[in-house]
Structure 1
Amino acid sequence: MAKKIIYTLNARSHEMLESMRNYFKIGPARMQHEIQGLLAQTKEILASKGIKYSALKSALVPDPKRREIALVFDTLNMQESWYGFPIYRALMPLLSRQSNYSILAGDYIGDNDWQDVLYERRSE
């Protein structure tokens, strides 16, 4: 299999790759083969939706010139237990279909010792 360019791979939180490597005792060459296979599947899925993987490069590859923002939401002020959906519903219409975006999501949490720091950062 010819090597293909992968623009991004989140190996830090991709437990499947680590689990496969450890359970099946996969060496580096075989792991690369598996990752390339996953890339091929990803490209097929994107192509079925009319999206070229190469068109996503600007969203997937870090660029120090890119303007970035962090949107922080106080989930204590939300009624929904699945708070991501109303945020998604409000945010998506604001984004142009002619552009590429990389949107990361997560919860900004900490134990009680960090609550003041988290609150100060959120208030900035």
Structure 2
Amino acid sequence: MKIFKKKIVWDILFIIYLIILIYFATVPKPPFNYTRFKGEDKIWHFVAYAGGMFLFLKSYFNRKFFLYFFGSIILTLPVTSEYIQALSPYRQFSMFDALASYAGIFAVTLFIILQNIIKKRIS
């Protein structure tokens, strides 16, 4: 029962994250001011998508249907959100933002996979 409750918590956190991410990616004006230093927005893209991928994998790593369903959303979201932003007069399309997002996704994916491999070898 404890494992089920943990999964529910991870599920809820991931869904909340996904809603917030989609909202921030599609509002007409950027929700934050990225002017402290050059490339700051790329760091935030990396962190936002890495955090989301962590929640996603904690929630759905062993559940195939959800892994494929939400995985396809996660993998298309960086480019899709950039195209949506290109439609706004206050925002612009940046492939580098999408690449930073994908870097966050793949960094966490690699970390979780390596962590699982190490756990299996130890036990």
* Shorter-normalised TM range: under 0.3
Q: Would you tell me which structure has more helix in proportion to its own residues? A: 2
TM-score (norm 2): 0.25
Larger radius of gyration: 1
**Structure possessing the higher relative contact order (Cα contacts under 8 Å, 6 or more residues apart):** 2
TM-score (norm 1): 0.25
